[in-house]
Amino acid sequence: MTENPRTTIRWERSDDGVVTLVLDDPGQSANTMNQAFKASLSAVADRLEAEQDSVRGVVFTSAKKTFFAGGDLKDMIKVGPAQAQDVFDSSMAIKRDLRRIETLGKPVVAALNGAALGGGYEIALACHHRIALDAPGSKIGCPEVTLGLLPGGGGVVRTVRLLGITDALLKVLLQGTQYHPKRALEAGLIHELADSTEDMLARARAFIGAHPESRQPWDAEGYRIPGGTPSHPKFAANLPAFPANLRKQTAGAPYPAPRNILAAAVEGAQVDFETAQVIEARYFTELVTGRIAKNMIQAFFFDLQAVNSGASRPSGVEPRPVRKVAVLGAGMMGAGIAYSCARAGIEVMLKDVTAEAAENGKAYSAGLLEKALAKGRTTEAKRDELLARITPTADVRDLAGCDAVIEAVFEDPALKHKVFQEVESVVAPDALLCSNTSTLPITLLAEGVERAQDFIGLHFFSPVDKMPLVEIIKGERTGGEALARAFDLVRQIRKTPVVVNDSRGFFTSRVIGQFINEGVAMVGEGVDPATVEQAAAQAGYPAKVLSLMDELTLTLPRKIREETRRAVVESGGEWAGHPADAVVDRMVDEFGRTGRGGGAGFYDYDARGKRTGLWPGLREHFTIPEVEVPFEDLKERMLFSEALDSVRCLEEGVLTSVADANIGSILGIGFPGWTGGVLQYINGYEGGLPGFVARAKELQAAYGERFAPPELLVAKAERGETFTDG
Ligand code: NAI
């Protein structure tokens, strides 16, 4: 182990013999399980053992805003299979030290002053009593699975012994649920809530006073795991359902964490505590040293942090929160945007052509809130407050004083020009002007306004209340201040902004188009459509490819394709087309199947629009039984088509940030999370960039020029680089 003089746990002993261990990593904003912490924990365990005669009890608490942040991800992302033994040893060392404190025979209390996630909750689990401050931002749980990991500090072993295998898996480990303190209490994760720090410390002392010889339930005589072990007949009857549920959760996509968590929990429940710790450490090591956890840590921790903290926001522009926004168009998108803004405390003027249409848009929010109320997620008072912030109107004069405009009328450039002309002189003279267009160039739309420098694209995703991403599109004339303000607005409504430059389909719509085209092209080659859908699911896509095409309608991409073709040809370029085009044309022209909206597409639908199954005609008209495309190729063609087009977006300057590409692809268009996003997928591909290039060339030879690796990719592969920012 490296020398580390830094002490991250402060020892404070009071006259009555209570030792408070204050987690406080000097110079860091949060406590993590870094080398210094490991050394400090070991030293603390030594000292407690040495001075135990004078120690009445122990309280763990923290001097930071959060109790403890968890594993040191900067370290974890670096280790590979060669470091497996070190990772295992380090996991075992933490477990041993926590175990020494747990079995000292003295009462140990966790006083959770803020979030205790992952490693933080694992420290708390090793305490005999857990008290949490009931603070609004506080969260408790084991979210490791969302980073492709499992809790390797005894979290699996102890939650199984605390809650029983079923509850440990379903409530804590497999979903990675983060509980507010109140809910953590209900779920049995903690014992008590406190109103203030003083109250919490008083409660900790009271526990110590009342339990001079505390020990864990699992160390008590005759202890049995709640609900039984896997050899218990009742549990054994339920066990077979777990692997099936797991398959359902991951749809066969390569997420190793849930599988390892299940194995660590089930195997660990059948052996003694110490052996279970070893089993947990082995499964943990396998994940930490593997590829997928690295992809997921990169995307869901580092990239997400970079994106949300403003890496793509111009600096030097003073933040100026939006107070009143005009939402133009109260249709599907406008209604959702109005709700999201009002939820964040912004006054909303929701404008449509008639008062009735505007009222309907507001009714959408009322509907969402009724559902939230029924589920106990909001109160009547909060519902009323939120609804009071939305004012429906058909009168443009009501938009006076709005400091931002978000336009979501029909996708028609002339109409968009017209509505902006109407509002520009009514709203605040420096109001930010945003369009939610999904396909029209921002530079073109900006021609319709006086202040093109304040005009910008804000591309929301449907359904707006659920989708976390907003793609911000800079037009040629968009100013830096408008970009910063748009960025701040997206953060103000608690969504994640990625920033791209104007281009046809921007980044997200363009790249997802490649995925859909690839799936449709496979049908054209004669591949059985059910196999195509299965390939998408097993690659890890949340939506199957042909069903997605039906949702978008087959006619819309055809219209966009025609417009693009015309534009390319007019500018003297060559139009290559895509093998999918012929399939879409036949579906629409020959069979009249335009997608879900038209009642029939690749799928059949019942009268209520519910999918009833793949259209049998597909097999009849397209499938060629002799065609054999390797299943691996089907999956990789989907993933590669999007990754390669993302590299082209970088080359063309549509994308300027790797983090934005990764996050935009996962949160916006469902690129599988296990990859870490479109560009991390290339970094993490077997053999790195050279391996990816070689495979792209194979796909190019077998399936066409669209798989040719772009120059930027080839050059980076040759230079031994990866896709990273800065
Ligand atoms: P929609 O058809 O549901 O709603 C459009 C609304 O605009 C209608 O309520 C209509 O009455 C209203 N409208 C028309 N003229 C108006 C005017 N002069 N003043 C005020 N309101 C007027 O359409 P949707 O799906 O909400 O789409 C709106 C925009 O958002 C389009 O530009 C679309 O391309 C874009 N978009 C759509 C997405 C989707 O998934 N549907 C995703 C992202 C962007």
397 Cα: distance to centroid of ligand 1 (angstroms): 20
Quick check: 191 pLDDT over 90? yes
Q: How many residues does the chain have?
A: 726
Question: Above 60 in pLDDT, residue 2?
Answer: no
Bigger pLDDT: 248 vs 484: 484
Taking only the tens place, the pLDDT of each residue in 15-64 is: 999 999 999 999 999 999 999 999 999 999 999 999 999 999 999 999 99
What pLDDT, in 10s, does the model give residues 588-602?
A: 999 999 999 999 999
Type of residue at 667: L
Q: How far apart are CA 410 and CA 144, in angstroms?
A: 43
User: How many other β-carbons are positioned within 10 Å of the β-carbon of residue 450?
Assistant: 12
Q: Please name the residues in contact with 657: beta carbons below 8 A apart, sequence gap of 6 or more.
A: 306, 307, 311, 312, 498, 499, 725
CA 328 / ligand 1 centre spacing (Å): 8
Whole-number Å distance, alpha carbon 424 to ligand 1 midpoint, is 19
State the pairing for strand pair 192-194/129-133.
parallel
DSSP secondary structure string for all residues of 183-239: HHHHTTS-SEEESSHHHHHHHHHHHHHH-TT---GGGSTT---TT--TTSHHHHHHT
328, β-bridge pairs: 351, 407
pLDDT confidence of 524, banded at 50, 70, 90?
very high
Measured from the Cα of 416, ligand 1's closest atom is 18
ipTM > 0.90, yes or no? yes
Please name the residue whose Cα sits nearest to atom 9 of ligand 1.
331
The torsion angles phi and psi of 712, rounded to 5 degrees, stand at -55, -40
User: Atom 14, ligand 1: which residue's CA is nearest?
Assistant: 409
In angstroms, what is the span from residue 456 Cα to ligand 1's centroid?
A: 17
**Which residue bears the tokens 């402060």?**
10
The ligand 1 atom at the shortest distance from the C-alpha of residue 460 is: 43
Calculated CA dihedral for residues 163, 169, 170, 176, nearest 10 degrees: 110
Residues linked to residue 274 through DSSP beta bridges, in sequence order: none
pLDDT tens-place string over residues 312-341: 999 999 999 999 999 999 999 999 999 999
Residue 252: pLDDT over 90? no
* Residue 425 CB coordination number (10 Å): 9
Q: With a cut of 60, say whether residue 363 has pLDDT above it.
A: yes
Nearest Cα residue to 303 out of 717, 673, 687: 673
Q: How would you label 315-325 residue by residue, b for 16+ Cβ within 10 Å and e otherwise?
A: eebeeeebebb
* Angle at the Cα of 78 from the Cα atoms of 76 and 79, rounded to 5 degrees: 75
| Residue to substitute in 332, 470, 596 for testing ligand 1 pocket (most ligand atoms within 8 angstroms of CB) | 332
Q: 456 near 473, Cβ under 8 Å? A: yes
**Which protein residue has the closest C-alpha to ligand 1 atom 42?**
461
* pLDDT at 504 > cutoff 90: no
What tens digit of pLDDT does each residue of 526-550 get?
Answer: 999 999 999 999 999 999 999 999 9
What pLDDT score does 1 carry?
Answer: 44
Residue with tokens 């363009």: 510
Handedness of CA 144, 145, 149, 155 (dihedral sign): positive
Q: Which two tokens stand for residue 468?
A: 């976390």
Q: Name the average pLDDT for the chain.
A: 94
Residue whose CB lies within 8 A of the most ligand 1 atoms, among 352, 424, 435, for a mutation test: 352
Among protein residues, the one whose CA lies closest to atom 39 of ligand 1? 462
Q: Which segment of 72-76, 196-200, 351-355, 505-509 scores lowest on mean pLDDT?
A: 72-76
Local structure of 279: helix, strand or coil: helix
Task: Tell me which of 252-261, 460-469, 495-504, 514-523 is least confident.
Answer: 252-261
74-100: average pLDDT: 95
Cα 630 to middle of ligand 1, angstroms:
42
Distance from the alpha carbon of residue 332 to the mean position of ligand 1, in angstroms: 7
Q: How far is the CA of 506 from the centre of ligand 1 (A)?
A: 18
- Neighbouring CB atoms inside 10 A of 246's CB total 16
Please indicate whether residue 250 or residue 429 has the higher confidence score (pLDDT): 429
Residue list, ligand 1 pocket, CB within 6 Å: 328-334, 351-353, 357, 408-411, 415, 419, 436-438, 459-460, 462
Residue of 407, 426, 435, 438 best suited for mutating to test ligand 1, as the one with most atoms within 8 Å of CB: 438
pLDDT at 244 over 90: no
Q: Could you tell me which residues come within 8 angstroms of residue 269 by beta carbon, excluding any fewer than 6 positions away? A: 160, 165, 225, 229, 230, 276
The tens digit of pLDDT for each residue in 203-235 reads 999 999 999 999 999 999 999 999 877 766 666
Residue 330 CA, ligand 1 centroid: distance in Å: 7
- The bridge status of strand 496-501 relative to strand 432-435 is unpaired
pLDDT at 255: 87
Q: Is the pLDDT of residue 159 over 50?
A: yes
CA distance readout (Å), 567 to 188, 425, 560, 573: 62, 33, 11, 9
Calculate how far, in angstroms, residue 334's C-alpha sits from the geometric centre of ligand 1. 7
pLDDT, tens only, 678-722: 999 999 999 999 999 999 999 999 999 999 999 999 999 999 999
Give 220 Cα–ligand 1 centroid separation in angstroms.
64
**How large a percentage of the chain has pLDDT more than 90?**
88
Q: What is the largest CA-CA distance in the chain?
A: 88
Find, among 192, 86, 65, 217, the residue nearest to 130 by Cα. 192
* Long-range residue pairs from 237-242, CB within 8 A, at least 24 positions apart, any chain: 238/166, 239/266, 242/169, 242/266
Residue 559, pLDDT above cutoff 60 = yes
The predicted structure's pLDDT at residue 5: 63
* Residue pLDDT, tens place only, 90-119: 999 999 999 999 999 999 999 999 999 999
- pLDDT-derived band of residue 154, with 50, 70 and 90 as boundaries? very high
- What is the band of 253 on the pLDDT scale with cuts at 50, 70, 90? confident
Q: Which residue among 333, 337, 398, 669 has the greatest number of ligand 1 atoms within 8 angstroms of its CB, and so is best to mutate?
A: 333
Could you tell me the distance, in angstroms and rounded to a whole number, from the CA of residue 409 to the centre of ligand 1?
4
Task: Determine which of 51-55, 67-71, 646-650, 690-694 has the lowest per-residue pLDDT on average.
Answer: 67-71
- What 3-state class would DSSP assign to 411? coil
pLDDT classification of 240: cutoffs 50, 70, 90: low
Ligand 1 atom 8, closest CA = 331
